[in-house]
A and B are shown apart, each in its own frame.
Chain A
Amino acid sequence: MAGVLSGNVCVYGAGGPVGAMVARALQDDYTLRLTDLHDVDDILAQNKPQSKGAPLPEKPVSPNEWQCVDVSDYEQVRAAAEGMDALINVSVLRHDVVPAFRVNLVGAYNVMKAAVECGIKRIIHTGPRHTRLGFEGDYWPDFDVPDEAPLHPGSDLYALTKHLGGQVVRVFAEEHDLEVLCFLFTGFRPGDPGPSADGSGVGPLTVAWEDTGDPFRLGLQVDKLSCNYEVFDITVDLPHRKFGTGKAQRLLGWQPQYTFERHYRRKTD
């Protein structure tokens, strides 16, 4: 199928920082149905960014809208998907067993089932690529790990439940000939490094919050994918050569503005 260049897009998990950046990146080209378990007014009233420098969502301006949707409730997910041209799932719960399975796994199932029932072909799914889980199978000793390298979450609750959700999405995509992009993230930093010292280091899979939204716009717009479930590590091109092969740059044309060069170079006079 051709890319989705305009139309209606539903975002599940819009109240989180990635969802916030997705909305900012898409609001000029699409009509957005932003959904989250919590109302945007409550999120803004709490004013608790996920981490220092992490963005908060903005109150949508009509025709964009905000709906409270529990992704573990299929009927709510299905209703939010009605009339949409594409779906984006950035919902996540990390630390508690029950919501981790309900959101990361059941939520993924519900979004994909809704996509099929509503005839929606383009979906962007998200998850983590955990790089340091403390056992040999996590690729940490390796280099040049490609975007397609299978995730090895071990027993980590967050990594495992998101991985299970990703597998559900892959099975749906392959069986129903959908076009799913799966964006994997690891580290986020503000584009402005603040007072951190030159050469203080940066993780091998890192993206600036400010650059986080644009891959989603490009992911909606890209023409036919080479497979039903295309995985991208979303990271700036870093010189460690551990992870990140520039796939998002090559296939989506993504050009991140913040490259963190100052973090891996010595200060020059």
Chain B
Amino acid sequence: MEILVTGTGQPLAEGFASSCSEGYSLRFPPRDQGVDWCDVETVNDLVAGVDAILHFAPPSVPDKGLEEGDLLDFATRSTYVLMQAGSEAGVGRIVLASTMAMFENYSPDYVIDEIWQPKPSAEAASLAPFLVEMTCREFARQGGIAVICLRFGDLDKAEGTTETDALAALDGALKMELDPLGYRWHVFHVYSGKRFPMRAARQKFGLGEIA
């Protein structure tokens, strides 16, 4: 399976690239290649011929912090360009690495699973992953492309997601059977701590310990 991986500089993306299972051939542009993920032609070339896209948004970590508006613009526009390229190239599957952080504004008393509405803060850094999800979801809704959205906690923190669980979920999402007549937008919470249950991901991908 030929996979385009975004997320240069992100630990989980780098971890996946260095440890992914046999049978995957990765396109993972290194930082020094300086890919402009908002450039349509560049992204079209990167997407051509791949079977799946593993999208860590934003697709690269900038060397210096972006202004709030620029962060929103970069995260969403690069995702739009990637999804557009994927749709036009006939890529059937996008795995989106997202975040559980957009649920931290809920009371810790709540048992939050995938049916809850995200609740980001009114700040660009919090809104960006939420808007990236919405962009991917709308492409999936329109048809021709399926998106499996994996929401992770902070990597390898006690209240977060272990790298083992995260890598297993990424592998599972790439192999997950898709019903051509079923939903095209799939969400899984991949969280190894206590705050958020991981029922659906555990069932689907066989992650973690049964509590």
Contact = CB atoms under 8 A, between A and B. Distances in A.
Q: In which size bucket is the chain B interface? A: 20 to 34
Contact of A155 (B38, B68, B69, B142): B142
Interface in B71-109: 72-73, 76-77, 80-81, 83-84, 87
B141 A102 contact: no
Interface string A219-245: 000000000000000000000000000
A104 B135 CA distance: 14
A14 interface: no
A101 to B, nearest CB: 5
A72 B120 CA distance: 21
Interface in A99-118: 101-102, 105-106, 109-110, 112-113, 116
B122 interface: yes
B139 A105 contact: no
A160 B84 CA distance: 12
Interface string B24-51: 0000000000000010100000000000
Contacts of B9: none
B80 A101 contact: yes
A74 B69 contact: yes
B138 interface: yes
B122 A155 contact: no
A163 interface: yes
Nearest to B70: A106
Nearest to A77: B69
Given A106-B72, A109-B72, A112-B122, A164 B141 contact: no
Main SS of chain A's interface residues? helix
A105 B72 contact: yes
Given A101-B80, A171-B121, A175-B121, A106 B69 contact: yes
Interface stretch (B124-132, B162-170, B194-202, B203-211): B124-132
Contact of A171 (B81, B83, B122, B135): B122
Given A112-B122, A168-B127, 10 more contacts: A97-B81, A102-B69, A133-B142, A152-B141, A154-B138, A154-B141, A167-B134, A171-B121, A171-B122, A171-B127
8 contacts: A105-B76, A135-B142, A135-B143, A154-B141, A154-B142, A168-B127, A168-B131, A176-B122
Interface of A: 72, 74, 97-98, 101-102, 105-106, 109-110, 112-113, 116, 133, 135, 137, 152-155, 157, 160, 163-164, 167-168, 171-172, 175-176
